[in-house]
Structure 1
Amino acid sequence: MTQITDLNDLRIFAEVVGHGSFTAAARALGTQTSKLSRRVRALEEELQVRLLNRTSRSLSLTETGRQFYQHCVAVVAESKAAKDIVEQTLTTPQGTVRVSCPLALLSAGVSAIIARYVEDNPQVQVLLDATNRRVDVVEEGLDFAIRVRLPPLENTDLAVRQLGLSIHILVASPELAARYPAPSSIDSLKEWPTLAMASSSGRFAWNLVDAKGEAMSWTHQPRLATDDLASLRIAAIQGVGVALLPRELVGEDLQAGRLRQLLPDLATTPGLVHAIFATRRGMVPAVRHLLDALVAGFGALNEKWYGGR
């Protein structure tokens, strides 16, 4: 079976036949008549068949050339359709975006940002992996993953875009706070029941910074430890213990009176909420615009809870 090595020759042949002459085709393609003639003759030699009958005044198709021309027109049309799809993808947000995000961040506002983005971009499908596990963006075929890390960010070959900040504060339910004297220092909480994120070492500590920027670490034995911040939030609301939780996660609870902030001069070092992805090169609009929406959304959240800090 003969295999054509250069599909551009099919387009050239279709242009020559479509325009009725080598001269007209050369004018349309912005090239030389002799070059087109050589390419078509080379195509015939490659196929080992005559496609065109040539005279000094006319050009006509052989029967094989007529059938071959019909397929060339179809190939050119499919090629243009394929190119149009790519160009449309590069100009209009569309297609599928695969994202991974921790559960607590989804509850703290990411779900709402993504929902608004999908509503505003009906040609985009977002496949959201809600998980607290560490994911491999490349191996799992993700467009990007959202993470929270304390600065400085780890060295990586992946690209990073910062979305916003996340600061943890101490909170307790009003019912729990009513059972104990108002705390004046972190040590005042030693009699209070506490909650914590799970620790593989079995040691539980809150690493905090005071209003003067001085760091401290306070160890405690929590009544409940879990790797799910949303579960800690629920336990705190139910009065199980004091919890160290992201301000953006409990902001509505504080406003509604379901939780109360303790020791407001103490908080964690701001964590960097960021998206991590394979490369910036060739990023399609659906991914780029979603990242832009997340940056704007986190900007609004940071302004609301941290005063734009």
Structure 2
Amino acid sequence: MNPITDLNNLRLFAEVVEHGSFTAAARSLGVQTSKLSRRIRTLEEELGVRLLNRTSRTLSLTETGRQFYQHCAAVVAESVAAKDIVDQTRTTPQGTVRMSCPVALLSSGVAAIIARYVQDNPNVQVLLDATNRRVDVIEEGLDFAIRVRVPPLENTDLAFRQLGVSAQILVASPALIARHPAPTSIESLRDWPTLAMSSNSERFVWHLVDSKGMATSWAHQPRLATDDLDSLRVAAIQGTGVALLPREFVDADIKAGRLRQLLADFATTPGLVHAIFPSRRGMVSAVRHLLDALVAGFDEMNRSI
């Protein structure tokens, strides 16, 4: 069977029955009595039956109308319940959040922020894709993806929110430092073994700025090149070479004495850690609160460095 053309007419019919008259129902709904009467007549014509017995003084249900009203009332109740579910997701964090994040950022403290958020919000489930590939937020059905980019950011139709900043610093193990004279410039690292992120061109260059904002580039041939930051970190701790790694990624190692920073006046241009998402409009509470937690978490991490 074909469904009723306009489900709003079911609600209007239920209102008429519950108020006992077209006039009272029209007043409650804020519509004209004549318009409401026409809508009910249209519903009866579509169904091919009379639902209401009308006189100038009284209004009563036919037997079919009485049975039909029970179903209409159930439909209205279900629509209210459905709206309540949506309203709850907009106010109280609940439901599923789908996100992606680079592996190194997770190891730098983002994983701890997410775990704390999930613990504090038991009605929220987070589905996290830990990946270094460039994801398509819309195609993959993600609520948001975390990225790190050096400004200016690319033009995109996606919305974004800045979470923090991330710069890379030069680090080495105490054992490696003990075997070489203290470096006084980038060039003085010439005799030091180095580590680097993989390069498609197999040309390895560190691009750094000093405390005065002066840029410098230094080409080198690393002992180890990989696209896995944690492998570089482990190699640096073992004394294999000097590495250029995100500050927050090695902060715990520096504090524990496993690594030391070299040439403290030099670092990469800070990249913006940001979340991209389809739109700010209609963002559910679980997503909004998780983004708030990430902003607060990055602020706390930056203060501790």
Aligned equivalent of 2:164: 164
Instruction: Tell me whether 1:88 sits opposite 2:95 in the alignment.
Output: no
Aligned equivalent of 1:271: 271
Aligned equivalent of 2:14: 14
Tell me how far apart the structure 2 counterparts of residues 43 and 289 of structure 1 sit (CA, whole Å). Answer: 44
Aligned equivalent of 1:212: 212
Which one-letter code corresponds to 1:185 in the other structure? S
> C-alpha displacement at 1:201, in angstroms?
0.6
Deviation string, structure 1 residues 1-36 (Cα, Å, up to 9, x no partner): 454221111111112222333233233323343332
Tell me how far apart the structure 2 counterparts of residues 193 and 30 of structure 1 sit (CA, whole Å). Answer: 79
Q: Report if aligned partners of 1:2, 1:47 keep a CA contact under 8 Å in 2.
A: no
* TM-score normalised by length of structure 1: 0.94
Deviation string, structure 1 residues 191-237 (Cα, Å, up to 9, x no partner): 21111001011001111112232211111111111111111111111
Aligned equivalent of 1:283: 283
Which one-letter code corresponds to 1:38 in the other structure? R
Which one-letter code corresponds to 2:160 in the other structure? V
Tell me how far apart the structure 2 counterparts of residues 179 and 77 of structure 1 sit (CA, whole Å). Answer: 77
The alpha-carbon distance between structure 1 residues 2 and 300, as it changes in their structure 2 partners (threshold 3 A), is closer
Where does 1:51-90 land on structure 2 (aligned, <5 Å)? 51-90=51-90
Cα RMSD after superposing both structures? 1.5
Q: Report if aligned partners of 1:22, 1:37 keep a CA contact under 8 Å in 2.
A: yes
List alignment gaps of at least 5 residues for structure 1. Answer: none
SS at the partner of 1:106? Answer: helix
> C-alpha displacement at 1:106, in angstroms?
0.6
The alpha-carbon distance between structure 1 residues 18 and 222, as it changes in their structure 2 partners (threshold 3 A), is same
> C-alpha displacement at 1:137, in angstroms?
0.9
List alignment gaps of at least 5 residues for structure 2. Answer: none
Tell me how far apart the structure 2 counterparts of residues 183 and 2 of structure 1 sit (CA, whole Å). Answer: 81
Tell me how far apart the structure 1 counterparts of residues 61 and 216 of structure 2 sit (CA, whole Å). Answer: 87
SS at the partner of 1:191? Answer: coil
Deviation string, structure 1 residues 80-135 (Cα, Å, up to 9, x no partner): 11111111112222111111100111111111111111122221111111011111
Which one-letter code corresponds to 1:205 in the other structure? V
SS at the partner of 2:258? Answer: coil
Aligned equivalent of 2:30: 30
Aligned equivalent of 1:251: 251
Instruction: Tell me whether 1:235 sits opposite 2:235 in the alignment.
Output: yes
**Count of aligned pairs between the two proteins:** 305
Instruction: Tell me whether 1:151 sits opposite 2:145 in the alignment.
Output: no
> C-alpha displacement at 1:48, in angstroms?
1.2
* TM-score normalised by length of structure 2: 0.95
